Amino acid sequence: MGRSSCCDRRSVKRGAWSREEDAILTGFVKRFANAGNWMTLPHKAGLNRCGKSCRLRWLNYLRPALRHGRFTDEEDSLILSLYGDIGSKWSVIAAKLPGRTDNDVKNHWNTKLKKRHLLAMAPSPTPPTAATDSSSASDADESPLLPPPLDEPALALATVDDGGELTHRSEELYAELMGLIQQQPTTGDVRSPSSSSLSSTPTAGASSAGVSTATSPVDDKEFLPESRGSSMVVELDDPCAAHAFGATSFQDLLASSYDEIIGKEGLLYY
């Protein structure tokens, strides 16, 4: 038997996530935080995805309090500085940048900062003095100028709270999911393949109007924390429903707890 992947690649969807999938995942995470594990989540949520993929999608894109978009000069400088100190420990570096994920930092490094770093490091044909001061913001020289929040605990990312101006994409997606549910009265499938318009990356900035609940950030450690070895202990944990726990069941579940989810979201979440 060959290498066993965590998921059967033949039967699990891969590639870009659709808005529907995002909404389902967001809804499920919100509804069942603190219960179960990532590996069983797709099955229970009716997502034809690998658990790792779900985890990655949530952590890197859907999780509240994430910041997308351009890195600031301060962030660039901090990354360069930290890279000089610890190398490609992206998770550690990301922990110093509230709202940024290791994937974000890594991508940013590979596309932009790496060149700067190499330029700064490269032996210049010109005298070293000219080389060092000409490079825009190299690491070593830059670090004294930084106000890095290094005194913060390394869990900064996990507990980040940028004061409520968060672009809660998950809020949007969740609302979207509820919209889908309501549009499909009985038998509709949230995962309707017809909605294959994979515009899966809506702009991050648009915080949904009206969603102004004082939500605290979600700590990934809070979601599914003591999950190892345990099955997802939720209302859905019905063996009979396991095989068929598709979006319809999820719809029913969500619809039945609409008030709880929407009206008292904060209580659910935190």
Partner DNA sequence: AATTACGACAACCGCCTCTCA
Partner DNA sequence: TTGAGAGGCGGTTGTCGTAAT
Query: Given the rule CB under 7 A, which residues bind DNA?
Result: 3, 5-6, 9, 13-17, 37-40, 49-53, 55-57, 60-61, 68-70, 88-92, 102-104, 106-108, 110-112, 115, 198, 200-201, 204, 220-221, 224, 226-229
Q: In the complex with DNA, which residue's Cβ is closer, 187 or 203?
A: 203
Q: In the complex with DNA, which residue's Cβ is closer, 51 or 178?
A: 51
Q: In the complex with DNA, which residue's Cβ is closer, 102 or 142?
A: 102
At its nearest, how many Å lie between DNA and the CB of residue 201?
Answer: 5
Which of 101, 105, 104 lies closest to 80 in space, CA to CA?
105
At its nearest, how many Å lie between DNA and the CB of residue 57?
Answer: 5
At its nearest, how many Å lie between DNA and the CB of residue 200?
Answer: 5
C-alpha 177/C-alpha 160 separation (Å) is: 26
C-alpha 113/C-alpha 135 separation (Å) is: 12
**What is the full DSSP assignment across 87-149?**
-S-HHHHHHTSTT--HHHHHHHIIIIIHHHHHHHHSPPSS-HHHHHHHSTT-HHHHGGG----
At its nearest, how many Å lie between DNA and the CB of residue 70?
Answer: 6
Which of 242, 244, 246 lies closest to 46 in space, CA to CA?
246
Q: In the complex with DNA, which residue's Cβ is closer, 160 or 248?
A: 160
C-alpha 215/C-alpha 13 separation (Å) is: 32
At its nearest, how many Å lie between DNA and the CB of residue 207?
Answer: 16
At its nearest, how many Å lie between DNA and the CB of residue 256?
Answer: 26
| Helices (H), ranges, the chain | 19-31, 41-45, 51-57, 73-86, 90-95, 102-108, 114-121, 128-134, 139-142, 169-183, 239-242, 247-256, 258, 265-269
